[in-house]
Amino acid sequence: MTTSAMTTSALTATATATLAPDSTRLRAAADFVRRHDTATLLPLLLPGLDGPQLHSLTRHLSFAHAALLVFPPDPATLRADLAACGLTADTPPLPSSVVRDRLAARHRRDAAGLDVSILRPEVRAADGTRRAVEVFALTVPPGSDLWPVAEHERAHQHEAHLAFEVLRPEPLLLRGLCALLAEQGAVPDGGGHNPHENGTVLYFTAPAASLAGYRRVELYAPGDHRDVLAGHLADRPATRPSVGPPADQPAETLLRLLTGAWATQALAACARLRLPDAIPQGAPIDRAALARRTGTHPRALATLLRYLAMLGVVTAEGERVRLTEVGALLREDAPASMRPLALMYGGPFYRSFGALDHTVRTGETAFDHLFGENHFDHFARDPELADLFDRSMAASTRMFDPVPAHPALAAAAARPDGGTVVDVAGGNGELLARVLTAHPGLRGVLLERPHAVEAARRTMAEAGCADRCTYRVGDFADVPAEGDVYLLSRVLHDWDDDRCRAILRHCERAMPAHADLLIVERLLPADGSASLATAWDVHMMCNVGGRERRADHYADLLAAAGLDLLAHTPLPLDAALLHARRPARP
């Protein structure tokens, strides 16, 4: 949806809906900075790194900040958004000539009319290290002709990036670091020298295989290094490819891509063997002792651990290993455990991905072809698989923490009689529990299959929300008509367009006139840029029979059901929160 096609009143409504996401994105960036450090982040950002390369980079680079571009209507709103996220900028804002010039070139604007400033509120990481969230701010008052710029930038996140400071910047070292990033598939993507703070920035597009959730990387070198910058800018492709392998190493690039299946199974084996649960939290363990604890073959375990160290799951300290923050996510008792996802992706879905060529030849879902039925029916017949699937969906839900902060939920919670949130096909209740926890004034209704409802009762009880939630056993035709906000979290991507239209019609018929519909999905980028949504589109086609879609595709599906797409807000991991409502009557 573009602002150029909107009426003035619709533009005002969209402005109201899309100003709040700045605070949501600020909070997500701050949480990301708190959770990651250099040693754990680099293997996610550059999955092809081997041990010596990782060691070299961690010696010379330090994770400094995550950056984003926001569009406050005035400085006071920006300060309020920062304060709401626990962020305080102790120094006055500085002008950002680099981002200003990039925006001017991208939108064919006069740079003099783009007043972009930089703030760097400090974030204290879990280990006590001081890092920052780098906030680029372009003031966009309501009604400003800069709204199309803000809408485009919010949708595409061109300036969101991860930054690493070069600890001892020298020309030879800087060129070597740029060459090493290029070897890993990072593509030069501009940069500049900021005279206001005498620092040189070198931007890269992250490799397509990156798992960090950010598409751009910055090397920040204190001082004036314009000779290195000139060479870096000269290396930038005229047309940036969506995938950036180094052209002079195609065989190595392909080989690294082909071994991706090995990483999946190494992580799944790590989870099945419960290696992370057997490693003491925050302390190393001898490999022989770990083998005894887990009942594994010592030499075979050592080989696996060496590979897991390369993937950033553990770190090796001689004969001892220590779990990284990434590896800790595979612990069963971790608050944000992703162990169920490792077991699912390395289990049933791994088998069906082996028949991807069958799907491409015939259009038939590979999972259905292999197992003789769709995954919903197959998992429902096996209580253990059904439980694993529900837990894997819950693990995915935890990645979208900003969802409970949406203004529609806050507005429902502020109703004098307390609002009601209806989670349609809400799985084991993980998302609804998080929403009710964030908004004590809300009540919840969860619609699901019988076995999922029982799991949801346990989830709600553990979250302390059992007395504020009721349950409905049924399917999409049974959407209750008592909600103020309706949730569809990663439901529509399971189905084809006809079924999606039917699901949305069921929701529209049940929704009171004032109700909002919030949809969580990954959005395919309209410009073909690298995105997790593109990978998930293949997964949905092969294993589920569904698909990922662009924002305009969802707008068409909603319109067919009598609903308007008001806005879509970025979420972590290339997901988005789509906000829909019935059209306003004249």
Catalytic residue numbers, as ranges? 493
Round to whole Å and give the CA distance between 15 and 171: 45
Round to whole Å and give the CA distance between 219 and 200: 8
Q: 3-state SS of the chain: helix, strand, coil percent to 5?
A: 50, 20, 35
* E strand or H helix that includes residue 129: none
- The tokens describing 239, both together, are 């047309």
- In this structure, what are the phi and psi dihedrals at residue 50, rounded to the nearest 5 degrees? -95, 175
Q: Which residues pair with 522 in a beta bridge?
A: 575
Burial class (CB in 10 A: 0-12, 13-18, 19+), 350: middle
- The tokens describing 134, both together, are 């780098």
**In 3-state terms, what secondary structure has residue 151?**
helix
Would you give the DSSP letter of residue 5? G
Burial of 389-418, coded b for 16+ CB within 10 Å and e otherwise, reads: bbbbbbbbbebbbbbbbbbbbbebbeeeee
- In this structure, what are the phi and psi dihedrals at residue 317, rounded to the nearest 5 degrees? -130, 80
Of 181, 175, 239, give the one whose Cα is nearest residue 210: 181
Do the Cβ atoms of 202 and 218 come closer than 8 Å?
A: yes
**In 3-state terms, what secondary structure has residue 255?**
helix
Burial class (CB in 10 A: 0-12, 13-18, 19+), 39: middle
Gyration radius (Cα) of the chain, Å: 24
- The tokens describing 154, both together, are 């919010």
Round to whole Å and give the CA distance between 90 and 458: 45
Round to whole Å and give the CA distance between 25 and 48: 29
Of 97, 111, 207, 203, give the one whose Cα is nearest residue 158: 203
Length of the chain: 586
* E strand or H helix that includes residue 299: helix 298-310
